[in-house]
Amino acid sequence: MDIREMNIEDALGLAISVELTEKVAKIFNSSSEVETINPSIKLIEVANSWQGEGPNTGRQMLITRFKYCNRHCEFCDTWIKMKTSTEGSYTIDDLNEALKKTKALMITGGEPTMQTEKIKHLEHTLYMLKYCDYQLANIETNGHLVDALIFEIERMKLDQSTINIIWSPKIFTEDDYKIEKMRIGTIFSNPMVYVKIVADGNEWSTKFIKELAAQNYNQNKIYLMPLGVTKEEIAKNWDFCVDLADECNVNLSSRLHIMNDFV
């Protein structure tokens, strides 16, 4: 789309995307680096389990979990695991051996798009997407550098029909709301992207959910989850989540991994 045809919010969202992509390009230092390196991938978890949330709920998958995240959400159900677990080193051969059972790859964290001089999550996420032997891949992201993730997937000409990017924006303040609202047009309009968001009752996250549902996009790609890191908390918040999903005409995600004690 010509930027002159965009509304102001989509244009600002595009500007954010360009800025992030330029930052990551500087970090990578070469447009072909992701395709030529052979890294030792640092992960705190590699295990077969079932996807507990979002569009592929119930699908048996190989979980690959990064350690670090750019946010610290009070309702994070993996914060203790990330804080206390030690990273192990894995090669693509290691991961492909583990993938033989499920042929489905879940890349999660932590935040799979974090990328600094020391933390290489985005770089390693792209490397796994390029070289792992999967039929389906889920990348679970809070959206930190999702713009760059999408850019690189397209540039590397990966098979987008096998990749689902599960965008789970974290919205606690008015500033969070404004930033994520501006990015709706440039992120959610991408065919790979689904939204999976916690219905936590917060004023700004609820406003964002309603704004997202009101946009002219596929509402079947939006999933609401009840707040909670225990069965009891999820049960307590289930009715609010159901009512909001019904009002917005979007999907529910039950968080099976918590309710059924998955990995």
Q: What is the 3-state secondary structure (H, E, C) of the chain?
A: CCHHHCCHHHHHHHHHHHHHHHHHHHHHCCCCHHHHCCCCEEECEEEEEECCCHHHCCCEEEEEECCCCCCCCCCCCCHHHHHHCCCEEECHHHHHHHHCCCCEEEEECCCCCCCCCCCCHHHHHHHHHHHCCCCEEEEEECCCCHHHHHHHHHHCCCCHHHEEEEECCCCCCHHHHHHHHHHHHHHCCCCCEEEEEEECCCHHHHHHHHHHHHCCCCHHHEEEEECCCCHHHHHHHHHHHHHHHHHHCCEECCCHHHHCCCC
pLDDT of 2 > 80? The answer is no
Instruction: Tell me the range of 33-47, 146-160, 209-223 where mean pLDDT is highest.
Output: 146-160
In the prediction, which pLDDT does 176 show? 94
Reported pTM: 0.85
Mean predicted lDDT score pLDDT of the chain:
86
Residue reference for tokens 């590699």: 46
What phi and psi, each to the nearest 5 degrees, are found at residue 200?
Answer: -100, 0
Q: What is the pLDDT of residue 171?
A: 94
What band does 101 get if pLDDT is binned at 50, 70 and 90?
very high
Residue 174 has pLDDT above 90, yes or no: yes
Domain total of the chain: 1
User: Can you tell me the distance from the alpha carbon of 255 to that of 262, in angstroms, rounded to the nearest whole number?
Assistant: 10
Q: 33: pLDDT confidence band, cut at 50, 70 and 90?
A: low
Q: Residue 260: its pLDDT value, please? A: 64
Q: What CATH number does residue 61 fall under?
A: 3.20.20.70
The identity of residue 6, as a single letter, is: M
> Mean pLDDT over residues 179-183, rounded?
91
Please write the tens of the pLDDT for every residue from 53-63.
Answer: 999 999 999 99
Name 102's Cβ contacts closer than 8 Å, sequence gap at least 6: 48, 60, 61, 62
Residue 149 has pLDDT above 80, yes or no: yes
Range of the domain at 219: 3-259
Sorted by sequence, the CB contacts under 8 Å of residue 197 that are 6+ apart come out as 168, 169, 171, 205, 208, 209, 222, 223, 224, 225
> At residue 167, does pLDDT exceed 70?
yes
Cα(171)–Cα(204) distance, integer angstroms: 6
Which amino acid is located at 122 in the chain?
A: L
